[in-house]
Structure 1
């Protein structure tokens, strides 16, 4: 984890705890010529734009008080909801996603594929099982969790 992400996580956590918000993810990325500091937050029932603006203002004020500046380059601060395709990072995210439709990306291909979508059926420390629809058939596939690069909620079409 980069020092910017660690610093921002430390600064934003008390702000979020006071509001009973959850920190989903912090990322600091360069896209083209610009740097973006993105903070994804959530709560039961979802986050609205006023709550994102509040956290953005509070975080911005705290970042401005640190000397030396933890982020010396110019950047855009974005505070938002993780959206309908929320990433699954923590164990509680996976637990809450049981029975939900998810997307996973793997480090190593299984049956020639590195990406799968299906309903999260079972979960333990080592593995998870997805119910996947292949044409008109449903099939359960089990994946080693250590082979999962990324996971997120998905929208089923």
Structure 2
């Protein structure tokens, strides 16, 4: 099974627990191989911030659930390392609520193919529509279709 589809299945399974039961926002789930090890990374957020206790609380709650969910090893092909953390200052924007929440903030947009000779844009997120986002780059507005976007994340202003 492809790592993205594993992450999607894990997201669907743990989202009610993380959000409804524990009260955190499930920002993202990644299932990636680094060296010889597989990592299942769960990124959470909360309006009051995320500390080590929050990460530990989520980890302790979902770890046994994931073990039970995958008791026949149909989802995960082998062992993995579970990590729960904050998405950090450059959190990815993936869901509609992310784009709405962070309008007016500086973002980095990466595209699959060049647009006007560029594949990366830094600008202010001005608008979100289901099929596109609008950013302001150097005072000019730019509309980027979502199907051309590979990644959008918050950027840090210096």
Measured against the shorter chain, the TM-score band is 0.7 to 0.9
Are residue 130 (structure 1) and residue 135 (structure 2) matched? yes
Aligned equivalents of 1:91 and 1:77: distance in 2?
A: 27
Aligned equivalents of 1:84 and 1:32: distance in 2?
A: 26
Are residue 52 (structure 1) and residue 75 (structure 2) matched? no
Runs of 4+ in 1 over 6 A off after TM superposition: none
Aligned to 2:140: 139
Q: Unaligned stretches of 5+ in structure 2? A: none
Higher Rg of the two aligned structures: 1
Are residue 106 (structure 1) and residue 107 (structure 2) matched? no
In the TM superposition, what are the counterparts of 1:74-85 in structure 2 within 5 Å? 74-85=79-90
Deviation at 1:84, TM superposition (A): 0.8
Q: 1:70-119 CA distances to partner (integer Å, 9 max, x unpaired)?
A: 42412111001111111111111111111010010112211110000111
In the superposition, the TM-score normalised over structure 2's length comes to 0.86
| Aligned-CA RMSD value | 1.7
- How many pairs does the alignment contain? 152
In the superposition, the TM-score normalised over structure 1's length comes to 0.87
Query: Quick check: 1:87–1:153 contact (8 Å CA) kept in 2?
Result: yes
Aligned equivalents of 1:142 and 1:81: distance in 2?
A: 29
